[in-house]
A and B are shown apart, each in its own frame.
Chain A
Amino acid sequence: MSGDHHTDATTARRVRRLETLLEEKGLITGERLDEAIDAFLAESSPANGARVVARAWTDDAYRARLLADGTAAVQELGHMEGSYQRLRVVENTESVHNVIVCTLCSCYPLRLLGPSPSWYKSEAYRSRVVREPRAVLREFGLTLPDSVDVVVWDSSAETRYMVLPRRPQATEGLDEEELAALVTRNALIGTAPL
């Protein structure tokens, strides 16, 4: 993989040159680019997915709707409005652990999980998690007993997945906001327990 300083400086220069060219052609302005970047970052956060999970943990009817039609259920909470993508939420249980990937590239429920980590987009993760998921999860520090089935969900252009983690024990006294604070991005991907 590249990422060394020389490559980085060369690419940075070429990106700048393209920006200037497109500005001259009247196709973009620097301000519009700034706005597009800000909008991308503002609407994408793992706090959104965490709130969905906390609602599902505290409201059985919502949980049922979320598992039946993820897109509609997260739209109830104001997420993914106007999206052409379908969201499927997959539930971890005592006997099933779910993990998500996009073997072809990087499809991911951005608005619910925030910008994806580098490893999610890496060839190593994409190639291996579908072949040896238990070994991959061990690399993330998650060792699952053989009694737990591992299900790997490969995303596509149209369908994105999010894991509904199991509610941690001894959290009966917590309210929705406190529960949401327990949810991590990797738990929503399936590479970490809660």
Chain B
Amino acid sequence: MARINDVGGTQGFGAIDTTDDTEPFHADWEARVVGLYNTLRAQGIFNTNEFRDAIESMPPADYLATSYYERWFLAICSLLERKGVIEPGELDD
């Protein structure tokens, strides 16, 4: 079954915002998420393929409603929960 990330050829996403942003991160938390990803992966807590799968298996509505690095963060959280590193709900307000 095709997953929501497999958008090649899909119609209806509209015009491309071609703004040439040269800033790698648009908020400090985005950089922290990349740091978390690299650090946790380097420790073997999850690997690249598990991480990719965690993003690609997001519910379609969540995938489309979130930004690039929000997806990274949600994927990291779901992997940490699955591996018992954190408990479900531990990050909630």
Chain A interface residues toward B at CB < 8 A: 1-3, 7-8, 11-19, 21-22, 25, 27-28, 32-34, 36-37, 39-41, 101, 103-106, 114-115, 117-119, 121-128, 130-131, 136, 139-140, 154, 157, 186, 191
**Which of B26, B28, B33, B39 contacts A28, CB < 8 Å?**
B39
* Chain B residue at minimal CB-CB distance from A118: B21
Would you call B8 and A37 a contact (CB within 8 A)?
Answer: no
Would you call B85 and A25 a contact (CB within 8 A)?
Answer: yes
Q: How far is the CA of A140 from the CA of B20 in the complex (A)?
A: 10
Chain A residues whose C-beta falls within 8 Å of the C-beta of B38 in the assembled complex: 36-37, 39-40
Pick the most buried of B32, B52, B80, B90: most chain A CB atoms within 10 A of its CB: B32
Would you call B73 and A119 a contact (CB within 8 A)?
Answer: no
Q: Using A28-B39, A28-B40, A37-B35 as known contacts, list a sample of 7 further A-B pairs with CB atoms less than 8 Å apart, ordered by residue number in A.
A: A7-B70, A12-B28, A27-B85, A36-B38, A37-B32, A117-B21, A118-B21
Would you call A119 and B17 a contact (CB within 8 A)?
Answer: yes
Would you call A1 and B67 a contact (CB within 8 A)?
Answer: yes
Size class of the B contact interface (CB-based, 8 Å)? 35 or more
Interface membership of B5, Cβ < 8 A? yes
* Chain A residue at minimal CB-CB distance from B71: A105
**Which of B5, B8, B24 contacts A114, CB < 8 Å?**
B24
Chain B residues whose C-beta falls within 8 Å of the C-beta of A124 in the assembled complex: 13-17
Chain A residues whose C-beta falls within 8 Å of the C-beta of B73 in the assembled complex: 11, 14-15, 18
A-B contact pairs, 15 of them (CB 8 A): A2-B67, A18-B86, A19-B32, A21-B86, A27-B85, A33-B35, A101-B8, A105-B56, A118-B17, A124-B13, A131-B9, A140-B18, A154-B8, A157-B48, A157-B52
Would you call B17 and A127 a contact (CB within 8 A)?
Answer: no
Within 8 A of A (CB), among B15-47: 15-22, 24-29, 31-36, 38-40, 42-43, 45
For the complex of A and B, the 8 pairs showing the least CB-CB separation, nearest first, are A103-B8, A115-B24, A33-B35, A36-B38, A12-B29, A127-B7, A124-B13, A15-B29
Pick the most buried of A15, A21, A27: most chain B CB atoms within 10 A of its CB: A15
Q: How far is the CA of A152 from the CA of B68 in the complex (A)?
A: 23
Q: How far is the CA of A119 from the CA of B36 in the complex (A)?
A: 24
Within 8 A of A (CB), among B45-87: 45, 48-49, 52, 55-56, 64-68, 70, 73, 76-77, 80, 85-86
Task: Given the known inter-chain contacts A2-B65, A104-B56, please indicate yes or no for A15 contacting B32, CB distance below 8 A.
Answer: yes
Chain B residues whose C-beta falls within 8 Å of the C-beta of A12 in the assembled complex: 27-29
Chain B residues whose C-beta falls within 8 Å of the C-beta of A131 in the assembled complex: 8-9, 11
